Amino acid sequence: MIIAKVNAQILGSTLNNHKVKADLFLLKAKKQKTAGWLVLGGGLALCFVSVANAFVQVNSPNGNYNPSDPPSAKITIEEIMAYGGAAAMLTSITLFIAS
């Protein structure tokens, strides 16, 4: 009968490997948080620009806005920018949660 004893741990390098993995996870979390702030800022800027542009068109004497016209089903660029900005801001939430 042959009996073999095998150690399941390698001493010394195991602790170092855990430190390397922890450093990689911390770096990944930092990058996700930075991306979250960038996406949030971009979405906020898109929303702000779209609302400002719509406000200028409504209050401009030469603008396209006429209150007596019936509402149309056409989507304006301001709506696209506002929806895109809102989607970007919602996306940033997932980046902050993941970090």
* 69 class by beta-carbon count within 10 Å (0-12 exposed, 13-18 middle, 19+ buried): exposed
pLDDT digits (tens, 9 = 90+) for 22-54: 888 889 999 999 999 999 999 999 999 998 888
pLDDT for residue 14 is more than 80:
no
Report d(CA 82, CA 44) in Å as an integer. Answer: 9
pLDDT for residue 1 is more than 70:
no
pLDDT digits (tens, 9 = 90+) for 44-97: 999 999 988 888 877 766 666 666 666 666 778 888 899 999 999 999 999 999
pLDDT at 5: 67
pTM confidence score: 0.68
